[in-house]
Structure 1
Amino acid sequence: MNLSSYIKDRGLTDEQFGQEAGLHKSAVSRYRRGLVKPGWTAMTRMYVATKGAVTPNDFFVLPQEHEAPDEQEVSSALSVPSLPEQEGDVE
Structure 2
Amino acid sequence: MILLSILFALAGLGALGLSQPQHYGWARGRAASAQERRLLQASGWSLLALSFGLAVGAWGPARGLIGWCGGLTLAAAGLVLFRTYGRPRPIRR
TM bracket (short chain): under 0.3
TM-score, length basis structure 1: 0.28
TM-score, length basis structure 2: 0.27
Q: Which is richer in helix? A: 2
The structure number with the bigger radius of gyration is: 1
> Whose RCO is larger (CA < 8 A, sep 6+)?
2
